[in-house]
Chains A and B, each alone.
Chain A
Amino acid sequence: MRPRAIRATLLAACISASLAHAEDGAMPAPGNVLNPAPVNPSTAGRWMDEEGMGTRIPAARSPIGRLYNMPLDAGGEAPARDVPGWINSAYIEFGLVRSSGTGTRGIPGYLDFDSGIYLNTYALTAEKPSEARFFEATGGAAGRDDQFHHVQFGRYNDWKVTAWFDGSPMALTSNYRSLWGGTGTSSLNLSTLTPGGGANAAATQTAIQNALAATPPGELDIVRRRAGVRLDSHLSTSWRMFASFVDDKRDGARPFGMVFGGGGGGGNFEAPQSIDYETQDFVAGVQFAGERNSFNLRASASFFRNGIDTMTVQNPLFVTLNGTNGLSPSLFTQGRFDLPPDNEAFNVKGEYAHAFPEFYRANLTATAALGSMRQDDKFIAPTQLALTGGTVAAGGASLANVWNTPDALSRQSADARIDTRLADVGLAMKPASALDVRAKLRYYETRNHTEYFACNPLTGQWGRLLNDGSGLSIVTANTTPGANPAGTSANAYNTASCSLAAVMAMNLAPVAGNIPIASIPFDYRQTLGSVSADYRVGRASSVNASLEREVMRRDFRERDETTEDRMKLGYVDRGTIEGAMRISYEYDKRGGSDYNTNPYAAFTSAGFGPAPAVNTQSMATWFKSIEQFRSFDLADRTQNIVNGRVDYSIVQNLDGAISFQVKDAMFPAEFGRTGRLRANSATLDVSYQSGSNAVMYGFYTRQWSNMGQRGVHPNGCVVGQTYYFFSDGRVANANTGATAPATPPGTTLVGTQPVTAGNWETACASAAATSPLFPESRAWEVNSHDDNDVLGLGIKYDFGRMKLDASFTRMLGRTRIGYKYNAAALGMTPLQEGLASRGLSDLTFSQNILTASLLAPIDRNISVRLLFRQEIGKIRDWHYDGVTANPVPANNTAFLDGGPVDYRDTLVGIFFQVRTP
C-alpha cells in the first residue's frame, strides 16, 4: 500500500486524541491579576528564546497573516523516551510585596493586595518518558484569597486526572457603613439603634444619622473558592470518557436592601445580604469518534445549596404602615428574607455526527438534550409577628395569628420545576468544489410546571401580606357604592375557602385589578431554521450568505409570538493583501403577533370579577401599561450590523489590524425603548517583533453608543371625573358636572375628557393629548449616550543583562444621560425644576493600570525580578451623589453604601526565581 493510502487509512482510524480542557466540568488552568495567564510549567519565568522557532525570525504567520508570538525559552530539550526513571523539575518564584495606596480595592477588586511574603508562582513537573507518565503542579498566590492551583497527572495518550483550585475575591464596595452586627450570617442585629425605630420618624432619622456618623466605612466582599477534579481516559481507540466534580463556594456579603410598608414603600434601608452559597456539579460523558460517525453523550447534575436560606434583619426605621389598622410601626422590629432556595439541575445531552463523503461530502449533525431545574424549598410564613390587634383596613378582618404560620399558605413547599428540551439538526454539503451549503433546524423549549395560589386557607383571603405585615396586598370585594350589590362585604371572597372557581362565580368586582393571586409559569419555545452557503471566488477568498428565521413562542407574555428574520452577507479574503479581510453585513427584522399590554389578568385580581366602573372608582389598577408601550425584548425591531476586520502585514515584523462594528437598531414603538439604538466600536492594533530582544504592541479602541426611551408619568383615571387639559401641559380634574377647575394663569384650556363607566377603557388606555391616565404632556424622554476609550501598550525588551516586561492600559468611560420633560405638566415646583434641569452628572470611569517588571538573571537557575504595579481608578456614579454626606435624606430611608471611591493601589515586589538545574 502506498504511504499516502496508508496515511489516509490510519488518519481515518485516528481517534480524538486531544484530552479535553476548558470543557464540561473543567476549568482552564486559573490565574490571578498578577498572572492572568495560567502558569506554563515548561516556560515559567523564562524569556523569549533568541533562536525563535528556528526557521524564521521574527516568527512565521498564521493563515490569516498574524505573526505568531516569539516562543519562550523552554530550557533545553525535552527528555528522550529512552531515559529511564523519573525526571523532575521545579520552579518557584517567591519574594516580598508591599502594597500602598488608598487601602481600598478597585471596584470590583479581584486582587489580594496585602503586603508580605508572596509566593507568586510555582511549577513542579515529573515525567517518566519510558512509561509516558507525567505529573505537573502549577499555581500561585499561595495562601491568599486569589490563590490558584492546578495539578495534572496521568499517562500521555491514555488517561489524565486534573485537579484545580481557584480563589476569587470580589470587593463589591469599600464604602459601606453597617448598622448591624452579624453581617454574613442569617441574623443581622442592630449594633446601637433600637429595632423598630424611635419615638417617631424624625427622631429615628436623627438617631440613624448619628449612628452612621460614628461608623467608619468598611468593605463588603464575597470570596469565591472553586475546586474541581476531572478524569479523562481513552477506553479504546475510538471511545473515551470523562467525569468531573466541581465544588464552588461563595461567602461574604453584598449590598442589598429592605423595604417596609405597602405599594410604593413605607421605609427602606440598605441592608447587606449574607452570602453562603455552595454549588456542586457532577458531569460525566463518553465520546466516540470513528471514520464516519462521531457521538457524544454527556450527563450532568448540579446542586445548589444556600447555607443561609432565610435572613432576618432588625429594622432601624420608624416605618409607615399601609393597608392595616390597629398596628404600631414600632411593632416591626425586624423583617425576614427568603433568600435563593436550594435547587438542582439535571441535563442529558447526546450529539451525533455522520459523514457521507460519497454524497456531496455531506455531514449530518443531530443534537438532543433534556434538562430539568427543580427546587422544593419549604416556604416560610409570611411574617414572624403575631400582628395582634391588627385588622385589614378594608373589611376589618383580623390579622392576629393567621399569617405567622406556614399554614397561612396554599402549599407548604415550592415544588417548582422547569424542564428544557433541545433538538438540533444540521446538514452540510459540498455540491461543487467551490460551494458549501448548510441547513440547520433548532428547537428549544422550557416548560414551567410551577404553580402557586396566593390564598390563605386559614382565612380565605387572596393576596398576600407585604413586608412582614407592614403592608397588605389583599383582594377584597369592592365596597364603592354601585360596584357590587348593596351590602356586599369587603370580605366576601373569604367565604370561598380559597376556591378560585367559587370566587369567580360570585361575580363580584374586586377592589383593585393588579393584585397578584397566582404565580406565573413563564416559558417559551424557540424554533430556529437557517440556510447558508459559502462560495469560493478565488484561491483564498469567499463570499457567504445566510438566511435565518427565529420564532419565539412565549406563554403569558405580552406577545404570544415574535418572529425575527435575519439575512447575512459576508466576504472573506485571505489572499489579496498580505493579511486578511473580513466583512459582513447583517439585516434583522423582528415582528410578531399582536401585543397585549396586560396578559396577566388571569393571575391577578382583575380576573375575580367585573371591573367596578362606578363613580369615584379609580381604574388605574386595571391597566398594566400604555397601549403604545412595547417591552424591548418583544418589540418590533429592525437592525443593521456591519462587522469588519482587516489584518495587514505592514512589513515583515510589523502587523497592523483594524476592526470595527457598526450596529444600528430601530425600535419603532412610541413608548418603551424607542428610536435608534446605536452601538459602534472601532479598534486599531499594532504589534511589532524584533526577534527575542524586542516585542511591542499597542491598541486603541473607541466605542460609542446611544439608547433612547420614552414613558408617560401616569395621571389618573377615576370614573365620574372630567379631566381638563391646559396649554402648558397641566392636567386637572373635577367631578363631572361640577364647576371646572380654574384655568392656570397664562394658559388656555385645550381639551377635556370625562371618564365614565362606559368609556374608561378606551379613554385611559392610550397615551394621547387628552388621555386622563397617560396625557402626552406628561411624557418624558431619556437618552443615554456611552463613550469609551481604551488604550493598551506593551513592551518586552532585552537590555542584555536586564529584561523589561511592561504593559499599560488606560480606560475612559462616560455615560451621559439626558432627559426631556414638561415641568408644568408634572406639577414640579420652581425649586424642583431648577434642580432637575441641571440633569444628571455623567457616570464616569477611568482606570490606569501600569505593570512593569525587570528580570535579571543571576545564574542559569536563579533570577531576580522587580515588580511594580499601579492601578488608579476613579468612578463617578450619580446614583451615589450626596449619599456620604446625606445618607438619611428623608424619614424612613437610609442609604449605607456611599458608592465607589477613587482608589490608588500600588504594589512593589522583589521576587527570586529558582529552578532546578
Chain B
Amino acid sequence: MKWTATLLLAAVALMAPGLAAAIPPEATYVGEKTCIKCHDVEAKHFGHTQHAKAFRQNPRNELEGRVCEACHGPGSLHAQRGNEKKREYLVGFTRDWGTPLDEQNAVCMSCHKGGQRMHWQGSAHDTAKLGCSDCHNAMARFSANGLLRAASVSETCQTCHAQQRADFRKRSHMPVPEGKMSCADCHNPHGSTTKTLLKADSVNEVCYACHAEFRGPMLWEHAPVRENCMNCHAAHGSNHDKLLVAARPYMCQQCHVSPALHAGQFFRGDQSARSQLSGGTPNPRMINRSCQNCHVQVHGSNHPSGARFQR
C-alpha cells in the first residue's frame, strides 16, 4: 500500500507540469531603482529598448510603471540579501533561471496577446516549445526593431532554420542574405492560419505582395500557376534559374505531354548550341530559356491569342 501510494505520487509528479515558479504572494514591488542597484549593467542596455522607454516615459497603467517588475514580478523577496539565486522569487526568461516556459510566455502574452500573435497557441513554434525569449531578448537593443535576439529577423530565424540559411545561398534565391527582404516578409513566426506560418491566406497571396504582375487574373490561365506558385518554384533557393524546382524543359514535362506537338518529346544533349557546332540539330527547348523561349508568358497571358502563352 505504501509503495503503491509512493508510485502513484511519483506518477502524478511525472504527469504534472513543472512546478510553477509562482512568486509568493507576500512579495511586493520595490521599484526600478532598487533593481538597478545590483543590475546596473542590465539597466544600461535595457534603457535603450522600447520597453524601457515606453514604461519609463509613458506608462499606460500602474504595472507598466513598475518597469522591471512589470515582467519579472514583484521583487521584494528577490532583493533580500541571500535570496538572489532563489528561482521562485522572480520570473526569469533565461534557461538557467528555470521559470516554466508557460509562465514566461504568459507574462509576455499578457500584454502582447492578440494582434499578430492571435494564432500562437498550437502553432509550429508553440508546438516546438519555443519561448518568446528564444527569439526575443528584451534586455538590450540587439536589433533596430522588434527586440530580437540578433541584429535582424533573418539572423534570428536562422538560429534554428539552418536548411533555409543554406537555401538562401543557392544560385537563385530570395534576396535575404542581401538584406533586401527577411523571413518576416512572407511568414508570421507567431502563428497564422496556415501550416507554414504564412502571412497571407495562401502561398500565392504571399507571392503577389511583391509579384503583383502575376496576380491577374489572366485571360488564359496556367493551372498550376494559379493554384500554387510552389508547384514550379522553390520558396527559398534553388540550383536552377528563377528558383525553379527542376531544370527546364524537364520540369514542364512533368505535366505536359502534347502528343501531337513537342511537349512530350525527348530532349537531349545533342540539341544544344554547342552540339550544333559538331553537327547536332539544335532545339530551342534545350537552349537558354527552353520552353519559355516561345511560351514566354508562362504565368498566364491576357493576349486574345495567348492560349499557349506565346504573346
Q: Is the C-beta of B304 less than 8 angstroms from some C-beta in chain A?
A: yes
Q: Please name all residues of chain B whose beta carbon is closer than 8 Å to the beta carbon of A837 when the two chains form the complex.
A: 269
**How many whole Å from B87's CB to the nearest CB in chain A?**
13
Residue from the list A15, A168, A709 in contact with B111, Cβ < 8 A: A15
A38 B270 Cβ-Cβ under 8 A: no
* Complex contact A832–B287 (CB within 8 A): no
A659 in contact with B162 given A268-B284, A626-B257, A713-B266 (CB within 8 Å): yes
Interchain CB contact under 8 A, A32 and B178: yes
Residue of B with least CB distance to A456: B304
Are A811 and B169 also in contact (CB < 8 A) when A37-B143, A897-B288 are?
A: yes
- CB contacts (< 8 Å) of B294 on chain A: these are 257, 259, 265, 268
- Give Cα A156–Cα B172 distance, bound, in whole angstroms: 41
Q: Is the interface of B mostly helix, strand, loop or mixed?
A: loop
Query: B198 → chain A, closest Cβ, in Å?
Result: 12
Complex Cα spacing A305 to B106, Å: 45
Contact (Cβ within 8 A) A68 B149: yes
Closest to A374 in B: B217
Give CA–CA (A596, B265) in the complex, Å: 21
Quick check: B118 and A294 within 8 Å, CB to CB? yes
Cα separation A430 to B39 with both chains bound (whole Å): 37
Once the chains bind, are A683 and B162 in contact (CB under 8 Å)?
A: yes
**Bound-complex Cα distance A20 to B111 (A):** 13
A195 contact set on B, CB distance < 8 A:
none
Say yes or no: is A217 at the interface (Cβ < 8 Å to chain B). Answer: no
Residues of B within 8 A of A868 (CB): none
Q: Residues of B within 8 Å of A, CB-based: how many?
A: 175
For B262, list chain A residues within 8 Å (CB).
Answer: 264
- The interface-forming segment of A183-191, A333-341, A386-394, A798-806 is A333-341
Residues of chain A within 8 A (CB-CB) of B223 are: 520, 522, 556-557
Stretch at the interface among A629-637, A727-735, A742-750: A629-637
Given A703-B166, A786-B239, the answer on whether A418 and B217 have CB atoms closer than 8 Å is yes
A465 at the interface (CB under 8 A from B): yes
Docked complex Cα distance between A343 and B47 (Å): 47
Q: Name the CB-closest residue of A to B281.
A: A832
Return chain A residues, CB-CB under 8 Å to B227.
522, 524, 554, 633
Known: A4-B27, A832-B280. A22 touches B180 (CB 8 A): no
Asked if A329 is at the interface (CB within 8 A of a chain B CB), the reply is no
Q: What string of 1s and 0s marks CB contacts (under 8 Å) between A530-573 and chain B?
A: 00101011111010100000000010110000000000001010
Whether B279 pairs with A831 at a CB distance below 8 angstroms is yes
Contact A11 B111 (CB under 8 A): yes
Of all chain A residues, the one with the shortest Cβ separation from B28 is A3
Q: How far is the CB of B295 from chain A (nearest CB, A)?
A: 8
Residue of A nearest to B261 (CB): A263
Is A582 engaged at the interface, CB distance under 8 Å to the other chain?
yes
Whether A632 and B133, one on each chain, are in contact in the complex, defined by CB atoms closer than 8 angstroms, is no
By a CB distance below 8 angstroms, the chain B residues around A840 are 268-269
- What residue of chain A has the Cβ atom nearest to residue B228's Cβ? A633
Q: Which of A96-104, A440-448, A478-486, A488-496 contacts B (4 or more CB under 8 A)?
A: A440-448
Question: In the complex, A899 Cα to B179 Cα: how many Å?
Answer: 25
A574 touches B129 (CB 8 A): yes
B83 within 8 A of A: no
Contact of A363 among B121, B131, B292 (CB under 8 A): B121
User: Which residues of chain B (275-311) have a CB below 8 Å from chain A?
Assistant: 275-282, 284, 286-290, 292-294, 296-297, 299, 301-308, 310-311
Say yes or no: is B152 at the interface (Cβ < 8 Å to chain A).
Answer: yes
**Any chain A CB within 8 A of the CB of B5?**
no
Q: Which of A17, A296, A532 contacts B112 (CB 8 A)?
A: A17
Asked if A426 is an interface residue, CB under 8 A from chain B, the answer is yes
Partner of B216, one of A17, A78, A373, A835: A373
Contacts of B73 in A (CB 8 A): 7
Pick the residue among B144, B240, B288 that contacts A38 (CB under 8 A): B144
Instruction: Mark contacts of B112-152 with chain A using CB atoms, 8 A cut-off: 1 yes-contact digit, 0 otherwise.
Output: 11111111011000011111011001011111111001111
B253 and chain A: residue at smallest CB distance: A711
A503: chain B residues at CB < 8 Å are none
B80 within 8 A of A: no
- CB pair B39–A296 under 8 Å, yes or no, is no
Which residues of chain B are near A631, meaning CB under 8 Å? 224, 254-255
Which segment, of A208-216, A615-623, A852-860, faces chain B?
Answer: A615-623
Check A420/B201 contact, CB under 8 A, given A382-B305, A540-B18, A786-B239: yes
- B241–A877 contact, CB under 8 A? yes
CB–CB B254/A703 < 8 A = no
Select B128's contact among A263, A351, A434, A572, beta carbons within 8 Å: A572
B201-A422 in contact (CB<8A): yes
Query: Within the complex, what minimum Cβ distance (angstroms) separates A380 from chain B?
Result: 7
Most chain A beta-carbon contacts within 10 A, residue among B14, B54, B104, B287: B287
**Which among B166, B169, B276 is the interface contact of A681 at CB below 8 angstroms?**
B166
Say how far B63's CB is from chain A's closest CB, in angstroms: 4
With A81-B57, A367-B193, A417-B217 known as contacts, the answer to whether A839 contacts B269 (CB < 8 A) is: yes
| Nearest-neighbor residue (CB-CB) of A18 within chain B | B112
Residue of B nearest to A66 (CB): B159
* Cross-chain contact A28 with B145 (CB below 8 angstroms): yes
Chain A, residue nearest B272 (CB): A881
Q: Mark A772-802, 1 if CB is under 8 A from B, else 0.
A: 0110001010101010101010000000000
Contact in complex: B63, A78 (CB < 8 Å) = no
Compute how far the CA of A291 lies from the CA of B15 in the bound complex, rounded to whole angstroms.
29
**Considering the chains assembled together, what is the distance between the CA atoms of A519 and B300 in angstroms?**
11
Which residue in chain B gives the minimum CB-CB distance to A881? B274
Q: Using known A-B contacts A81-B57, A434-B17, A701-B163, determine if residue A28 contacts B184 with beta carbons closer than 8 Å.
A: yes
B287 contact set on A, CB distance < 8 A: 879-880, 883, 889, 895
Please give, as numbers and ranges, the residues of chain B lying within 8 Å of A24 by CB-CB distance. 199
Binding stretch for chain B, among A57-65, A196-204, A753-761, A905-913: A57-65
Contact residue among B53, B74, B199 (Cβ-Cβ distance under 8 Å from A132): B53
* Given A422-B201, A524-B227, A537-B14, A835 and B275 contact (CB-CB distance below 8 Å): yes
Separation of A683 and B158 alpha carbons in the complex (Å):
12
The answer to whether B265 and A714 have CB atoms under 8 Å apart is yes
Tell whether, in the assembled complex, residue B41 and residue A54 are in contact, meaning their CB atoms are under 8 Å apart. Answer: yes
B105 and chain A: residue at smallest CB distance: A63
Asked if B101 is at the interface of the complex by the 8 Å CB criterion, the answer is: yes
The answer on a CB contact under 8 Å between A428 and B121 is yes
Q: Which residue of B lies closest to A383 (CB)?
A: B305
Determine if B288 and A899 form an interchain contact, defined as CB atoms under 8 angstroms apart. Answer: yes
Taking the nearest CB of chain B, how far is it from the CB of A674, in angstroms? 9
Contacts of B202 in A (CB 8 A): 420, 444
B166 touches A23 (CB 8 A): no
The CA of A66 and the CA of B130, in the complex, are separated in Å by 12
Complex-state Cα separation, A512 to B16, whole angstroms: 72
Does residue A287 face the partner (Cβ distance < 8 Å to B)? yes
Contact, CB under 8 Å: A709 / B250:
yes
A268 to B290, CA, bound (A): 11
- A899 CA to B171 CA, complexed, in Å: 13
Q: Are B17 and A714 in contact (CB under 8 A)?
A: no
Q: Please tell me which one of the listed residues B54, B170, B246, B273 contacts residue A889 in the complex, with CB atoms under 8 A apart.
A: B273
CA distance A640 to B231 in the complex (A): 19
Give the distance in Å from the alpha carbon of A512 to the alpha carbon of B209 in the complex.
41
Question: Knowing A7-B74, A713-B265 touch, does A375 contact B216 (C-beta < 8 A)?
Answer: yes
**In the assembled complex, which residues on chain B have CB atoms less than 8 Å from the CB atom of A2?**
25
Give Cα A538–Cα B100 distance, bound, in whole angstroms: 12
* In-complex Cβ contact of A821 among B118, B128, B268 (8 A): B268
A111 to B179, CA, bound (A): 10
In contact, A784 and B302 (Cβ under 8 angstroms): no
Interchain nearest-CB distance for A633 vs B (Å) = 5
Collect the chain A residues with CB atoms within 8 Å of residue B61's CB: 10, 13-14, 237
Decide if B180 touches A289 in the complex (CB within 8 Å): no
Whether A821 contacts B266 by the Cβ 8 Å rule is: yes
Q: Is A516 an interface residue (CB 8 A)?
A: yes
**Could you tell me which residues of chain A, from 291 to 341, have a CB within 8 Å of some CB in chain B?**
294-296, 302, 304, 306, 335-338, 340-341
- Given A64-B130, A885-B273, 9 more A-B residue pairs with CB atoms under 8 Å apart are A16-B117, A21-B146, A42-B48, A343-B215, A433-B16, A464-B305, A832-B270, A836-B270, A886-B274
Q: List 5 A-B contacts (CB under 8 A).
A: A6-B62, A108-B175, A259-B310, A661-B163, A836-B268
